[in-house]
Amino acid sequence: MLSDMTTEFPPNKAKVCQVVANENWISEIISQTLDQAGGAAWSLRAQNGLAPPDGLSQADALWIAPALLIASNAWLTAWGSEPLRLPSPRATWLAELAQVAPELAGRRIVAAPAKRILGWRSLPSGLGDRPWSQLAQGRVLAFRAAQRSLPELQASLATAPPDSLIQLSSHIPDISEEWRVLLDAGRPIAASGYCLHDPAGGRRIVSVFDGAHFDPARRAAALQAAQAAASAGGLTSGAIDLAFTQSGPPIILEANPLWCAAPYAYGPQGMAAYLDALQSSQADPREPPYAPDPWMRRSFSRRYAAFHPGASSRQKLNR
């Protein structure tokens, strides 16, 4: 035990993965999966995010929850230290993919700032009466992903920052399975199903952590679709979520940063490849650095405001 907030296991490995999350299960699943291979070369250092992360290094693999990254970077900047710059898909990536490769997006997708949406008198064509709406990148409790009519959407955005980017998409009616594919250097490195819809198109969800079993024949199709989306959308590093439907090829649901992708059932080899990608992607200049949505900054940036650096290594990032 390094402190009351940090746990390291096992302690004597060559490579370090830092996990900064409020939930213990993330580091536990990574550790358990690597242990299946025996003699894994990784040491995991878990921090619970109740205080600013301590002892982070650009040389380490880093898994961090977006809210804690926002809080940490705001705290570092306030005390004159360099923030962490982690790569991320563009917030407009999915909307742009729908323009250049509509067969991969599989539906109408529109991204617009909250201020513009508040002035709409009708929804853009092709979205339906109750499209899905959410932040184009990220999550806030005040605006969860949901189907909303235009009046409901505008009411939900009444207190949103004017420049918060909102993504709207038409409903996909017959989803049966959802998969995630991890990308590094533009290539798939790991894949896992993560939830089933029972029945197809229904709202009852069975997750991989509930013991859901996925059609192994769909793995190749998921990898192929993710590779095609990465190539069409110019994505080199990230986690692509896909949906399999009853009526056609897989549909790209979204793309998120690699450094906050849930550790699904990637297997020992896939998990090791994931950590290697986390280690190398910190300095990857091919993706723009993560720029949190204004609504996320407003929600999370003051989480560590009461902490003073003191004499600990929290004062500066190790370089």
For the entire predicted model, the pTM comes to 0.91
Specify whether 191 is located in the same domain as 234.
yes
Specify whether 10 is located in the same domain as 71.
yes
Specify whether 69 is located in the same domain as 114.
no
């991969």: which residue's tokens? Answer: 104
Question: What values do phi and psi take at 54, rounded to 5?
Answer: -115, 140
User: So what's the pLDDT on residue 7?
Assistant: 59
pLDDT tens sequence across 90-136: 999 999 999 999 999 999 999 999 999 999 999 999 999 999 999 99
Q: Which of 169, 191, 222 is the last residue of a domain?
A: 169
User: So what's the pLDDT on residue 285?
Assistant: 66
pLDDT at 65 over 70: yes
The arithmetic mean of pLDDT across residues 161-187, rounded, is: 96
pLDDT tens sequence across 216-271: 999 999 999 999 999 999 999 999 999 999 888 999 999 999 999 999 999 999 99
pLDDT at 311 over 50: no
In whole angstroms, give the CA distance from residue 46 to residue 7.
Answer: 5
Residue predicted with more confidence, 172 or 308: 172
What Cα–Cα distance (Å) separates residue 139 from each residue in 91, 111, 144, 167?
A: 12, 15, 7, 12
User: So what's the pLDDT on residue 53?
Assistant: 94
CATH number at residue 249: 3.30.470.20
Domain membership of residue 43 (yes or no) is: yes
**Structure token digits, residue 153:** 């959407």
What Cα–Cα distance (Å) separates residue 160 from each residue in 117, 157, 270, 292?
A: 11, 5, 39, 14
Domain membership of residue 277 (yes or no) is: no
Q: Structural domain of residue 122, as residue ranges?
A: 107-169
Share of the chain above pLDDT 70, in %: 91
Specify whether 115 is located in the same domain as 51.
no
pLDDT tens sequence across 263-302: 999 999 999 999 999 998 776 666 788 999 999 999 999 9
Domain membership of residue 267 (yes or no) is: no
User: So what's the pLDDT on residue 319?
Assistant: 40
Specify whether 196 is located in the same domain as 244.
yes
> How many domains is the chain built from?
3
Domain membership of residue 264 (yes or no) is: no
Specify whether 74 is located in the same domain as 145.
no
